[in-house]
Structures are given as structure tokens and as C-alpha cells.
Amino acid sequence: MYYVTKVSVLHTDPNSGKEKKMTEQYLIDAVSVTDAEVIITKELSSQSLDFEVKSVTASKILSVLSA
């Protein structure tokens, strides 16, 4: 099953140097909401980002096709 995670991430603008909080969405293939949260937390922690998982919801997407 696929889950949509909404994450608040703190980014630094390279031009002005100001920090800006942005909401990003990720589609996660997981077995539960908890599993999806663990997956996104591990992924973003490895990138050394300042983030907060805001929500995880089940998606109506059945499959992801690639060419």
C-alpha cells in the first residue's frame, strides 16, 4: 500500500541565506502508517535535514508504473 507523507523541512535559501520552512510530500510504499513514518524518518535523517513529519495518510494509488 502507498502512503502520502507530509513533511515540514527547513531549507536555507542559497541567495539570501535566509531559512525557509517548506512542506514537502513523499509517496511511500509501506505496510502501515507507522512503517511509512519510519521509512521517511530514516531517509531524511540520512540527509542531515531539519524536518518534522506532519502527517501520514493512506493513498488511493494502486500502483506506480515506470517506463
- Quote the pLDDT of residue 54: 96
pLDDT digits (tens, 9 = 90+) for 8-49: 998 888 888 788 899 999 999 999 999 999 999 999 988 877
**Greater pLDDT, 14 or 6:** 6
- Quote the pLDDT of residue 3: 97
pLDDT of residue 50 exceeding 90, the answer is no
Global pTM reads: 0.81
What is the C-alpha separation between 4 and 50, in angstroms, rounded? 19
Instruction: Assess contact for 37 and 53: CB atoms under 8 A.
Output: yes
The per-residue b/e assignment along 13-39, b for 16 or more CB within 10 angstroms, e otherwise, is: eeeeeeeeeeeeebebebeebeebbeb
pLDDT of residue 60 exceeding 90, the answer is yes
